Chain A
Amino acid sequence: MDFALNDDQEQLVRAVARWVDRRWPAADPSSVPGRRAAWAELAANGWTGLLTPSSLAVLDAALVVETLAHGRCSLPVGPGGMIAPLVAAIIGLDADGRHNGPRADDGTDQLLCVVDGRDPAAAATTVARGLELADRVVVLAATAPPGTAASGWSLAGRQWWTAEVAAAGDEGWPGPAIEVAQDEGRTMLCRLAAPVPAGAWHRLDPAPGELAWLAGAVLGAAELVGLARAVLDSCVAYAGQRVQGGRPIGGHQAIQHRLADMLGAVERARYLTYAAAVDLAEAAPGFHPGQVVPSVHRAKALAARDCVAAIRSGHQVMGAIAYSAEHELHHLHKQAVVVASEHGDATRHWAALETAAAAR
C-alpha cells in the first residue's frame, strides 16, 4: 500500500503543471489556430502518447489529464490525445506515423478524436468535442447484441468497430464537422457532418475495444477531478477574500460546510480514479472481453455524479459573479458536463455494475 507518486510521476505532474501554468494562458481558447498550437506543444512533450496497445500507462495518463484540467486547459486531451491514437494504433493506422505527434511543417494530422461507445449506424449523428480541431477523426463504436437493452447495460457481448475519417473533407467525406454547441466563442461540441462511409469501418477485437473504452472512462474521471479541484480552489480563495457584513464569507459555517463537502467529493473521486487507473493497467495484459473492472465503472460514475455536483455547488459559493459570462466558472462547469457523458455517463456505468452484480 503506497499512496505516493513515484519520482517519474512527480516529475511528470510538475512538468504538466508548469506547462499549463505558463503556456496555456497564452493560447486563445476561442481560436482554433491557438488551440491547435497548444495541442502541438502537448504532443511535442510526449503527453499524448502515453497509451499504446503494448503499454497502458493509465495512471500516468490520468495524472496528465487531471493536471491539465486543474490548470483550466479545455483541450480534449483524454479522448482526442490519448484514446484516439490508442485505437488507431490497435488497428495499425499509426504505422506510417501520420497519427501520432505533431506535424509542425504543414500543421496537418495533429489531432485525432474519438466519437465513442455508440452504434455505428448512429455515429453520424453523434456529437463529440474537438472535432473542429481535428484533421482526422477516429470513431469508436460498439454494437450491442439483440436484447441487451432489456436486460441491462454492459460492455459484454458487444461488437466493436472503428473508422478513421477526415474531418476537413477529402475522398468520400463532404466537409468539416458541424458545430452544435458554443460557449462564448469556444466550440464545445460538434457533430460529424455526414455518415461514416461504409467502407471505412474496421472490425475491432472486443478486448482492445473494451480496454480503450474503459481507459477513456478513467481519463474522463480524471478530467472531472481536475476540473472540480480547480473550482474548489477558486471557491476557497474567493470565500477567503470576499467580505460581506464585515467578515469574509468563508468564515460563515454555511459556506465552510459546503466547501468541506466539495473537498470530500473531490477526494473520494480522486483516489478512486487513481485506483481505477492502476486496476485497469493491471488487468490489461490478460484482459478478456466482458471482464468487469468495478473500480473503473465506480470511478467514472462517482466522478460524473459528484464532481459535477461539486462544481454546481461552486456557483452557490461564488454567488452572482459566477452567473456572469465573464467569470470562468461556467466554462469549467460546461466542460465537466461534456466530460461526464464521454465514455459512458454515470447512468451507463451504474448500469454496468448492476448487470455485473445481477450475474453474480
Chain B
Amino acid sequence: MEFGYPPSAQRLRADVQAFLAERPPETWPHDAMDGGYGTGAYSFEFLRALGARGWIGLTWPSRWGGAGRPMIDQLALMEELALAGAPFGPLAGSDQWAQSLIREGNPTLQADLLPRIAAGEALAWQGYSEPDAGSDLLALTTRARRDGDEYRIDGHKIWSSEAGACTHGMVLARTTGVEEAGSRAGGLTMFVVPNDAPGLTLRPIVSLTGEVYHYEAFLDDVRVPAWRIMGRENEGFRELLKGLDRDRFWGRFCKPPALARQLSLLRRHVAADLAGQPAMARRLVELEAEVDATRLLFHRFGWLLDQGIPTPYESALYKTMADELGQRVANLALDLLGSDILLDGPGAPLGGAMRQLYLTSVGQTIAGGTSEVLRTTVATRGLGLPRNDAPPAGARGRHP
C-alpha cells in the first residue's frame, strides 16, 4: 500500500501552488456562488485560466486535446485547489461532461463541445429532477417526441445546479412510453439542450443563504436536432447510471480537503480562546481526524475507479459520510462562533466562510441523493441486505 502521491502528481501540486501564488484565490471574480461542495465559487476567468494551462482536459485522451495524464494527477490538482479555497466550482462537472461526451457522444457533439469545454467556454447543467421525480427519478414526466430531424421537448425540471451560469443542459426526457419500453428505466433519452434554445426558460431559486444555486427549467416545445442526443435513444437512464459513480465521486472528492481548510481557518480564528475551552479543543482534533480519514476513503475510491474495480456502494457511503461530516464541522463552527455565524459582509467572522459552510451544509445531505436513500443503497448493494419494496402479505396501514 502506498498512500502518497507519485512524483508526477507531486510536481503538478507544486505547479498549482505556484499558479495560485502568482494570483491568489481571492483575487478572481466570482460569477456564481459556492454551493458548499468544496469546489468553491464559479469563476469563469479562473476556469479559462485552468483551461489555458491544459488542466481542464488533464486526463482526456490526446486526440481530444487532452494531456492524457493519469487520474491520480487529477486528484492532486483538485485537492490542491480545494485546500487553497480556489474558485474552481465547475471544474469537476466540466470534466465529467467531457468524459461522458468522449464515451457516449456522437462525432458532431464531440467536435462541437469538447474544444469549448477544454477552454472553459462551455458548461452543462443537469436536467434530471422534476417536482414529482426527486429520489424516484424514474417517475419523471418530461416528454420528447420525434418530429422529422428534430425532437420537441415539453416538461419541467427543477434543482438544476448553476443552470443559469452554464451554456447547455443535459435534459433527461421520456421518448418511449413505459409499457412499450418494457420498464420505467427504458425509453428515456438524454438531450444536450443549449441554454439559448427557444422555449427554454430558466427561473432562479433563491436558497436559504440568499444566493442562487438552483434553477427551475421550463421546456415548452423546445426543438432539439437529433444529433444533440447524448448516447443512444431510449438508453439515457442506463447511460446516466454508468457515470453516476464518477459523478458522485467528483461531486464530493473535494469536500474533505475543503473541510480541512475550514477547520484550519477555524482553529486559527479561535486559537487564543481554545486553551480555556477543552471540550471545543477536543472536538476540533476529533473532526480533524475524521476529515483526514474521510479524505483517505475518497483516495481509495478514486483508486478503485482508476483500476476499474467495481464500486457498488462506495459512492453512496462516502458521499453520506462526507456530507454528514461537513454538518458536524458546521455545528462546531456554530458552537464556537454563536449567532455571529450568520453575519454576512464586512465584519463577518472569517469573511463569512463559516456562514456559507453552515447554511449550505443543510442541503448537502439532500442534493445528489439523500442520506436516507443512499444508506439504503449501501445496505442493499454493499451489504447484500434484502430490498423491501413491498409490504408483507396481508399488511395494512393503520392510518386512513
Which residues of A are in contact with B by a Cβ distance under 8 Å?
1-5, 59, 236, 239-240, 245-248, 250-253, 255-257, 259-261, 263-264, 267-269, 271-272, 274-275, 278-279, 294-295, 297-298, 301-302, 305, 350, 353-354, 357-358
Secondary structure dominating the interface of B = helix
Give the CA-CA distance A259 to B375 in the complex, in Å.
9
B221 at the interface (CB under 8 A from A): no
CB-defined contacts of B290 to chain A, threshold 8 Å: 268, 302
If A256-B379, A257-B379, A260-B379 touch, does A278 touch B387 (CB 8 Å cutoff)? no
| Interface size grouping (class) on chain B | 35 or more
CB of A350 within 8 A of CB of B282, answer yes
B194 at the interface (CB under 8 A from A): no
Give the CA-CA distance A267 to B292 in the complex, in Å.
13
CB of A256 within 8 A of CB of B376, answer yes
CB of B282 within 8 A of CB of A2, answer no
Residues of B295-338 at the interface with A, using a CB-CB cut-off of 8 Å, are 296-297, 299-300, 302-304, 307, 313, 317, 320-321
List 15 contacting pairs A-B, 8 Å CB cutoff, sorted by A. Answer: A1-B9, A3-B299, A3-B300, A236-B383, A240-B384, A250-B386, A253-B388, A257-B375, A257-B376, A271-B297, A272-B292, A278-B2, A298-B288, A301-B286, A305-B286
Residue of B5, B75, B303, B388 with highest tally of chain A CB at under 10 A? B388
CB-defined contacts of A354 to chain B, threshold 8 Å: 281-282, 284-285
Q: List 16 other contacts, CB 8 Å, given A3-B303, A240-B386, A271-B297.
A: A1-B75, A3-B300, A3-B304, A4-B307, A240-B384, A246-B394, A253-B375, A256-B379, A256-B383, A259-B379, A260-B379, A268-B294, A271-B293, A298-B289, A301-B286, A357-B284
CB of A267 within 8 A of CB of B393, answer no
Pick the 10 closest A-B CB pairs, nearest first: A256-B379, A246-B392, A251-B388, A298-B289, A260-B378, A250-B385, A260-B375, A257-B375, A353-B285, A272-B293
B211 at the interface (CB under 8 A from A): no
CB proximity of B75 to chain A, nearest CB, Å: 8
B30 at the interface (CB under 8 A from A): no
B372 at the interface (CB under 8 A from A): yes
B267 at the interface (CB under 8 A from A): yes
Which residues of B are in contact with A by a Cβ distance under 8 Å?
1-6, 9, 72, 75, 267, 274-275, 281-282, 284-286, 288-290, 292-294, 296-297, 299-300, 302-304, 307, 313, 317, 320-321, 372, 375-376, 378-380, 382-388, 392-395
> In the complex, which residue of chain B has the Cβ closest to the Cβ of A9?
B1
Give the CA-CA distance A272 to B387 in the complex, in Å.
31
CB-defined contacts of B380 to chain A, threshold 8 Å: 256
Give the CA-CA distance A59 to B2 in the complex, in Å.
11
Q: Which of A298, A350, A353, A358 contacts B293 (CB 8 A)?
A: A298
If A239-B385, A353-B285 touch, does A253 touch B372 (CB 8 Å cutoff)? yes
Give the CA-CA distance A250 to B75 in the complex, in Å.
36
